[in-house]
Amino acid sequence: MGSDPHAPYELALQVRAEDIDQLNHVNNVVYLKWVQEVAIAHWEAAAPPEAQAELFWVVVRHEIDYRRPALREDGIIARTWVGAIEGRQFERHTELLRARDRALLAKVRTLWCPMAKATGRPTKVSEAVRGAFSTPT
């Protein structure tokens, strides 16, 4: 495996002009885009190449608490780590932070399901992936 998948993984992002909505802050949908971007980056950094060749992940559920708005000039830190597993649903936590002061902008819990690239259907994962991308319950 690459980096420790249990350790929080961080990705720096920048607010773009097209992320701003009519309320002059980042649109809520962009927060979910960032959640997906950091999850994919974490998977690509930490999963073994053979798992990446065989699997992709789809979102089953997002739960998001918006705390503060992100603004046009903000740099963003997307911070993610793995959680529990139930059946084929893998929990992942994400915090979106304002880079300059690490103020919490949003807190997210997402459930992901592994899919086989060969069939496009939900699949079981190896014990190595299961152990690395979930915490003991």
Q: Any idea where the domains of the chain sit in the sequence?
A: 9-132
**Structural contact between residues 13 and 34, judged by C-beta atoms closer than 8 angstroms:** yes
Q: 9-132: CATH homologous superfamily?
A: Hotdog Thioesterase (3.10.129.10)
Global pTM value: 0.92
What is the tens place of the pLDDT at every residue in 90-99?
999 999 999 9
Residues facing 79 on adjacent strands? 10, 95
What is the tens place of the pLDDT at every residue in 46-57?
999 999 999 999
Could you tell me the CA-to-CA distances from 132 to 67, 79, 80, 104 in Å, in that order? 30, 17, 14, 26
**Structural contact between residues 21 and 27, judged by C-beta atoms closer than 8 angstroms:** yes
